[in-house]
Chain A
């Protein structure tokens, strides 16, 4: 009887251990997916701003500036959903979630600024959009506070 009780305990312990292991592996996998996902969004914005800056600097003809600005605006609007799960890691500092109200407000400002840029680029082309591209996008201010860049 004692031996069988001990076996039952061991089995339960083993099952609990396996359960915990699976749980933590699953949580870890989900966290990495969350980080990867928001990085896809942030990298998209980086690529689009870089393409528009090439146009602003006269390196590439600005024919498609408005399309780039639209991609940027649509992508900016997806960022808040991506950062909503509180998963520290990647290049995001813990301050993102510690100061969520401020971070969230800045993302709203980014959406407003990029929507305005897209509208300006569509209506006025490079000449009208250039000053906004240079000074009105709040990327740097937010990155200085909330991003830990990995080189």
Chain B
């Protein structure tokens, strides 16, 4: 009888120890998952940044404008991905917690951004770049959103 009880105690202790060992592994897995989510949305935001900067150079006539329409297409495509990339509630990177605290406002801004850039890309294909770029300042109002929702890391 005593032997059985000792065996049960040993088994219970072993199960407890295993659980304790697995817990940090689970936390670590969550950390990795969160990092993947942050990395992913940053790939999208950095794409928007690079493409907007390239377009800005064209608009300031410091580089030729042959690729204007292509930049407008890529900005529209990347903008169409951004909202979904922010859906998982994972603060970190340069995103302030306000993104999720004020989700209806953030979501509305992202949706408007995607719509306006898509419209610009469409006009560029149908009526040319000059017509498309008439609304560029309104469509690429990145700063207004960044001022509220981004904590830039230098």
Chain A: minimal CB distance from B73 (Å): 5
Residues of B near A94 (CB, < 8 A) are none
Interface positions of B (Cβ within 8 A of A): 33, 36-37, 39-40, 43-44, 46-47, 50-51, 53-54, 57, 62-64, 66-67, 70-71, 73-74, 77-78, 80-81, 84
Evaluate contact between B40 and A71: CB separation under 8 angstroms: no
Residues of A near B64 (CB, < 8 A) are 81
Evaluate contact between B53 and A40: CB separation under 8 angstroms: yes
Q: Which of B39, B57, B74, B81 contacts A44 (CB 8 A)?
A: B74
User: Given the complex of chains A and B, what is the CA–CA distance between A82 and B36 in angstroms?
Assistant: 31
Output the nearest chain B residue to A51 by Cβ-Cβ distance.
B43
Interface residues of A in 2-45 (CB under 8 A from B): 29-30, 33-34, 36-37, 40-41, 43-44
Which of B54, B70, B81 has the largest count of A CB atoms less than 10 A from its CB?
B54
Evaluate contact between B40 and A47: CB separation under 8 angstroms: no
Task: Determine the main DSSP class of B at the interface with A.
Answer: helix
Evaluate contact between A54 and B39: CB separation under 8 angstroms: yes
Stretch touching chain B among A60-68, A98-106, A125-133, A136-144? A60-68
Q: A43-B50, A51-B43, A51-B44 are in contact. Are A60 and B36 (CB under 8 A)?
A: yes
Chain B: minimal CB distance from A29 (Å): 8
Task: Determine the main DSSP class of A at the interface with B.
Answer: helix
Q: A63-B84, A74-B77 are in contact. Are A30 and B46 (CB under 8 A)?
A: no
Q: A37-B63, A43-B46, A44-B47 are in contact. Are A78 and B71 (CB under 8 A)?
A: yes
User: Given the complex of chains A and B, what is the CA–CA distance between A48 and B140 in angstroms?
Assistant: 20
